[in-house]
Structure 1
Amino acid sequence: MQLTLDDEKTKALLTEVLVEMLQQKREVFYEIILDALEEVGLANAILEGEETEFVDEAEIQAIL
């Protein structure tokens, strides 16, 4: 017996699996999305920092 799936059946099956996983493992997906958002924020901060002037380490230490 050979199992074949067309594109529509595959898409429907994957959608069903993802929805079920989201419902059962909500906290896992929440953590994944939160981590991804933090990474995007960090990347944006790095890009912004590359466009500004450098500050002498002594100035930073004086503030701390």
Structure 2
Amino acid sequence: MELSISDDKTKELLTEVMIELLRTKRDLIRDIFMDALEEVGLANAIAESCKNEFVSEEEVLSLLDRAVE
């Protein structure tokens, strides 16, 4: 026996799952986004240092702090 569902029903179910995740795992999702922002900040700092002179550790940490705020 094979089970199949329509694309519309699949989309509806996935939407419900995402909404439930956002409701119940808000802290986890926030932490994931914050980590991603930190990574972007670090990547930007690295890219900037490649274009210019050496960037000090303090400057990198400052960029990361601003990305998080």
CA distance in 2 between partners of 1:29 and 1:54 (Å): 34
Q: CA RMSD in A?
A: 1.5
CA distance in 2 between partners of 1:7 and 1:39 (Å): 35
Q: Percent identity?
A: 58
Q: Paired residue for 2:33?
A: 33
**Structure 2, unaligned runs of 5 or more:** 56-69
Instruction: Work out the number of aligned pairs and report it.
Output: 55
The 5 Å alignment of 1:1-64 reads 1-54=1-54
TM-score (norm 2): 0.71
TM-score (norm 1): 0.76
Query: Which AA in structure 2 matches 1:48?
Result: E
Q: CA deviation at 1:18?
A: 0.7
Q: 1:54 to 1:37 in 2, by over 3 A?
A: closer
Q: 1:42 to 1:18 in 2, by over 3 A?
A: same
Deviation >4 Å, runs of 4+: none
Q: CA deviation at 1:5?
A: 1.3
**Structure 1, unaligned runs of 5 or more:** 56-64
Q: CA deviation at 1:50?
A: 0.3
